[in-house]
Structure 1
Amino acid sequence: MTTFLNQLPALIGVIVGVLGTLLTTRLNERAQWERALSVRWDARRLDAYSEFGRALKEVHLLAHRLTASSRPSSRAHPIDRAAGLELIAQADAQRTKAWEGVLLLGDADTVAAARDWRWAVLQLERGARGIADDDFDWTAAVRRADERRDRFYVAARASLTVGSGDVAQARWLVDRQMNS
């Protein structure tokens, strides 16, 4: 019995060491799993945000092209009305599909910013189709869409924890127009 009691501290040390190793290994594996899961969701979120941005920007560009002939200062390449309306319908269908990815994967701030940008581009699309309100102002609508796009990208970048600084385009575009 005295031999056992003499070896008891060593045995307790081994048991504590094994339990500590198991706990450390478990916590380490859990942290690795959470990092892998975060990377996987971030990649999917990036794809959803990018797809939505491309689809919405396509509608925006087609609206510019549809109205280019009626805006003398436009730099957009005019497009035939029938072809443009068909292309805008296709782009809008893509935007609708991409929207589902943003709703599924986006955080609340990004979804709200995406909704605002989508609404602003819808106003441009309505203007291009000739169904906008009587007080529709193209320049103000474009500026609003550009500002909402910037808000979407700020929210999306925050959601993805991309921290490389301000990449806003709306101010740059306004400054560029004033200097032309």
Structure 2
Amino acid sequence: MGNLVAQLPALIGVLVGTIGTIVATSLADRARWRRRQGVRWDERRLDAYAEFARALKEVHTIASRLIGGYLDREQELALLTEANFRHTIAWENVLLLGDAPTVTAARAWRDAVWEVERLARDGSATDGLPDLLHRANEARDQFYDAARGGLGVSGGSVAQAALLVDRLYPRHSRPPAQR
């Protein structure tokens, strides 16, 4: 019995060491799993954002061509319908995977492009077109800003709206809302 009592501190030390090792390993494994999950979802989120941006930009481009009236209207309307189908699928992925600020920004961009598309489909007067296009470009900038923020992408602004206005309109000929 005395021999067992003498060895009891060593046995307790081994037991505490074993339990400590199990707990530390478990915590490390859990942290590693969470990191992998985070990376996995960030990759999927990036893919969803990129696909949404590509599809919505396609809708915007086709609608702009329709407004310009340079191509076959029926063919362009068919292309616009197909592009909208791709956009709808991409939108669902943004809703599923996106964080709240990015979804909000994506919705604003989508709504601005829908206004451009409405003009294209209706063949309406294009008096407010420069302002609509500028709003769509600003909304795109906000989407990219939110998406980059949500994904932790650094590197400064990638805003294009102001640059596009500078290219399209010299300062003296800009629409009043963009001066």
1:151 partnered with 2:142: yes
Deviates more, 1:154-163 or 1:54-63: 154-163
What is the CA deviation profile of residues 114-157 of structure 1, one whole-angstrom value per residue up to 9, with x for unaligned ones?
A: 1110000000001112265x685000000000000011111111
1:8 partnered with 2:11: no
Structure 2: 5+ residue stretches without partners: 172-179
SS at match of 1:167: coil
Structure 1: 5+ residue stretches without partners: 70-77
> Partner residue of 1:123?
115
Q: How far off is 1:17 after superposition?
A: 0.8
Letter in 1 for 2:18: V
> Partner residue of 1:142?
133
> Partner residue of 2:177?
none
4+ aligned runs moved over 3 Å, structure 1: none
Question: TM-score with structure 1 length normalisation?
Answer: 0.88
Distance 2:16 2:169 in 1: 72
> Partner residue of 1:88?
80
Tell me the percent identity. 53
> Partner residue of 1:64?
64
Question: TM-score with structure 2 length normalisation?
Answer: 0.89
Letter in 2 for 1:52: F
SS at match of 1:32: helix
Distance 2:84 2:127 in 1: 21
Letter in 2 for 1:112: T
What is the CA deviation profile of residues 8-55 of structure 1, one whole-angstrom value per residue up to 9, with x for unaligned ones?
A: 111111111111110110001101111111111111111111111111
CA contact (8 A) 2:134 2:161 kept: yes
CA contact (8 A) 1:62 1:88 kept: yes
Distance 1:86 1:28 in 2: 54
> Partner residue of 1:106?
98
Distance 2:19 2:57 in 1: 56
Residue among 141, 147, 154 paired with 1:163: 154
CA contact (8 A) 2:67 2:123 kept: no
Distance 2:85 2:169 in 1: 35
SS at match of 2:71: coil
Q: How far off is 1:93 after superposition?
A: 1.0
